[in-house]
Structure 1
Amino acid sequence: MQKPVSISVDIGGTNTRVALCEDGEVLTETIQRYRNAEHPALEPILDAYLANYPMVAAICIDMAGPVKDGVGTLTNLDWTIDAGALSARTGGARVAVLNDLQAQGHSVAHLSADSLLTLLPGQPAPEASVRLVVNVGTGLNAVPVHTSGALTLVPAAEAGHITLQARDALELRLLEWLCARIPSAGLEEVLSGRGLEHLHAFVCADEGAGTPLDAAGIMAAFTAGDAQAVRAARLFTSYLGRYCGDLSLTNLPFGGVYLVGGVAKHLGPHLMNLGFAEAFRDKGRFAQFMEQFPVHLVTDDYAALRGCAAHLAELQRAA
């Protein structure tokens, strides 16, 4: 008789990935990928994956969108994920629904060294120290990761929409240019995929020359050494370093700051040359204090799935 299985589900903007997990680990050989555009909802995907697994013990799903009381609606997809309905559909399985950034938060304590690119080494800290996950991709968000006994606590947040501020004449021109186009612009309007596009368009306008590019075009131009693309990347990095530094002073993540998301992954290897460390530590008399916080770029494509698996294992141990 087959034993009940546990599965992790990672719903992205284009694809959904499903995998078996056991004792907090993803069984990577079981990962299957499904195109969202070919399915009207998550349920047919789960039906297809679970066809060979009639008994389901637990499911953890992460999704890009707000989650409340076990129900979430995806930001860029007309799907609603309801933990209660999915539990009933799978014969009473335990179902947990997380925001995608929460899943990343549950993963970071379980990532191996080869899943990380260390940007700033920081200083050694106890295993239970607070961590901070910063997502820079289609949008911007950040969450602290706390440990309480055997449980990992990752509160939901919408930290990408805090007020965009200016510290010098250049940033004031940027703020005025952006607010003329997007009233009440938040920090996400400069730290995201579209944020990089906004910065490049501003550089073109500020210099009175050049053609604004999309994010892929900016990265290609940056790689080729184009001066305007490099200037936009430096502005981006300055804001990112400051943002991570501000949140580090708020949360004291002695366990490390972890950068995730598509834009962070593309720019990550260049951040140190673009001034990230200087912006991160630009805190006046607290500059030396900032040197305690390690900063890592997460390079593991399965981190969200691993976070779901780790969360399920904790829930099952606590039951």
Structure 2
Amino acid sequence: MPVPSSMLTLVADVGGTNTRVAIAQGSEVVTSTIRRYANADYPTLEDALRRFISDEAVSGLAAACVAVAGPVKDGRGTLTNRDWAIDNATLSRATGAPTAAILNDLQAQGHAIGFVDPARTISVIPATEIIPHAPKLVINLGTGFNIAQVFDTEAGRLVPAAEAGHVTLPVRSERDLRLARFVGQTHGFGSVEEVLSGRGIVQVFDWLGQEEGDDRRATSSEIMDEMSREADSRAGRAGRVFVQMLGAVAGDLALTTLPFGGIWLVGGLARAFGPYLAEFGFAEAFRDKGRFSEFMRSFGVGIIEDDNAALTGSAAHIAGILQRRLI
């Protein structure tokens, strides 16, 4: 039995700097209701949500679901980069909704798969065959790095949490080893996130400066701008290192999780690097797995360009909970 369209839900995407809140009908976000709030203006997330309730004059919500940029355990989410936390009881109290759910932001991206407008996606590597109900994989590139596996089961969609950004960076050559040692100086070892993130591209640029005897520094936006103008510049070379490492890591993850339903790259950095993936050798690095290289053609890779995907995933997740309760 589908969820009645009259049953409205509140959904929120809670980042380290801003919180976006909206109303949803079923798995569809009502885009005209999306509002953005600066976290610095509110002492708690509960206060920001209450502001939205007041701004939109909302009442009679069936449920609420928020996606937070941080770990979620036992129905409680904690922001990594802000002293905010929320649990199901607090979310219900803030919104007046009897049903509440809290997701990690990347889990929300996983729940969005299949609900995002196909026009807001682009193909990076076409799959030889896509099996719709097979496991899927979401890889986030942004302030940090993380993944979410997506499983469609008879009981509903399952998207377990992960902290994959903190696994060890793959080393395939002496050059990779030097990079891993360079980026690992701060935390004792070279993790994937120290290369494949916003600060990661800066570290790759700095490492190349050390390799090439050039002490010029640059921000991530300056690196991306230089890379777009001069592919053979130091920024362009840093971009190639980044893309090929992304391909290698994504290939490792594909073999680890076997996502025959597809791999989706999400996040601001994924969108920014999208135009360079083919030129800089993503597919070649992704498939460079020795005797398994041909097997790697089983996996399709795409980019989700919809900035509202976490809201859509939150809406789809809470709609699924309500639907199961109606059966």
| Band of TM-score, shorter chain | over 0.9
Describe the SS at the equivalent of 1:213: coil
Which shifted more, 272-281 or 91-100? 91-100
**Shift in Å, 1:4:** 5.6
* Letter aligned with residue 220 of structure 1: D
Which shifted more, 234-243 or 181-190? 181-190
* Letter aligned with residue 61 of structure 1: V
Which shifted more, 171-180 or 228-237? 171-180
Report if aligned partners of 1:20, 1:27 keep a CA contact under 8 Å in 2. yes
Give unpaired runs (5+ residues) of structure 1: none
* Letter aligned with residue 252 of structure 1: L
Describe the SS at the equivalent of 1:160: helix
**In 2, Cα distance between equivalents of 1:70 and 1:55:** 23
* Letter aligned with residue 48 of structure 1: R
**In 2, Cα distance between equivalents of 1:259 and 1:66:** 20
Q: Deviations over 1:200-257 (max 9, x none)?
A: 0000000002412111111111112151101111111111001111111111111110
**Shift in Å, 1:127:** 1.8
**In 2, Cα distance between equivalents of 1:12 and 1:176:** 30
Quote the RMSD (CA, aligned, Å). Answer: 1.5
* Letter aligned with residue 11 of structure 2: S
1:178 corresponds to 2:186 = no
Which shifted more, 74-83 or 271-280? 74-83
Tell me the equivalent position of 1:245: 251
Tell me the equivalent position of 1:50: 53
Tell me the equivalent position of 2:170: 165
Report if aligned partners of 1:5, 1:53 keep a CA contact under 8 Å in 2. no
Q: Deviations over 1:94-152 (max 9, x none)?
A: 11000000000000121222111110111233321111000011111111100002511
Tell me the equivalent position of 2:14: 11
**Shift in Å, 1:181:** 4.2
The 5 A counterparts of 1:126-275 are 126-149=131-154, 151-225=156-230, 227-275=233-281
1:39 corresponds to 2:30 = no
TM-score (norm 2): 0.93
Partner residue of 2:118 out of 113, 117, 136: 113
Tell me the equivalent position of 2:309: 303
Describe the SS at the equivalent of 1:222: helix
Identity of aligned residues (%): 45
1:20 corresponds to 2:23 = yes
Describe the SS at the equivalent of 2:62: strand
Partner residue of 1:61 out of 53, 58, 66: 66
Give unpaired runs (5+ residues) of structure 2: 1-5
**In 1, Cα distance between equivalents of 2:7 and 2:140:** 34
**In 2, Cα distance between equivalents of 1:131 and 1:109:** 11
**In 2, Cα distance between equivalents of 1:207 and 1:238:** 19
Report if aligned partners of 2:22, 2:29 keep a CA contact under 8 Å in 1. yes
Report if aligned partners of 2:138, 2:265 keep a CA contact under 8 Å in 1. yes
* Letter aligned with residue 28 of structure 2: E
Q: Deviations over 1:39-78 (max 9, x none)?
A: 1111222212223122221001001000111111101111
Describe the SS at the equivalent of 1:124: coil
* Letter aligned with residue 245 of structure 1: G
* Letter aligned with residue 222 of structure 2: G
Report if aligned partners of 2:71, 2:78 keep a CA contact under 8 Å in 1. yes
Tell me the equivalent position of 1:290: 296
**In 1, Cα distance between equivalents of 2:177 and 2:45:** 45
Tell me the equivalent position of 2:3: none
Report if aligned partners of 1:150, 1:314 keep a CA contact under 8 Å in 2. no
Describe the SS at the equivalent of 1:122: coil
**In 1, Cα distance between equivalents of 2:34 and 2:185:** 46
**In 2, Cα distance between equivalents of 1:158 and 1:55:** 36
1:279 corresponds to 2:282 = no
